[in-house]
Structure 1
């Protein structure tokens, strides 16, 4: 089952994002190696600076997806104002379809 993990950064926390980025990317690379990760990247503000994140992950259920999302180093560092985990059905341009 697929889940979209939608994360919104706290305002004025770009410094924390940059400090934590190497650990976050290592974590994302691990998800990718396991086949858990389908898509990932930052949201950008009007000045094209990162202001949040979006991941599309595969998990057995909602609780498992939330557990995966809770391991994000950005979240553990206190970067996110909010994290929303929603089940997702990939209809168009799904390479696995």
Structure 2
């Protein structure tokens, strides 16, 4: 099952994001190597600076997806104001459907 993480950064926490980015990238690379990560990237503000993240993972259930979200170094560093974990259906341009 796929789950989307809609993560919104706390205001004025860009430095936390930048300081934690190497560990976050390592975390995503590990998820990717395990076949868990489907895609990820930051939301950008009008100024082009990151202000949140979209991460889509495959997990057995919502509890497993929440554990993945909670393990993200950004979450552990207190970057996020909120994180929604939602079941998601990849309908268009899904490479698995090709």
- Note the alpha carbon deviations across 1:40-86, whole angstroms, 9 max, x for none: 00000000100001101000000000011000000000000000000
- Aligned residue for 1:47, secondary structure, equals coil
Structure 2 unaligned segments of length 5 or more: list them. Answer: none
Say yes or no: does 1:52 pair with 2:52: yes
Runs of 4+ in 1 over 2 A off after TM superposition: none
- Match of 1:82, SS state, is strand
Q: Shift in Å at residue 17 of structure 1?
A: 0.3
Cα distance between partner residues in 2 of 1:41 and 1:65: 17
TM-score w.r.t. structure 1 length?
A: 0.99
Residue of structure 2 equivalent to 1:96: 96
Question: How many equivalent residue pairs?
Answer: 97
For the aligned residue pairs, the C-alpha RMSD in angstroms reads: 0.4
Q: How do residues 33-52 of structure 1 correspond to structure 2 at under 5 angstroms?
A: 33-52=33-52
State the distance in 2 between where 1:50 and 1:85 align: 19
Unaligned runs of 5+ in 1: none
Match of 1:17 in 2: 17
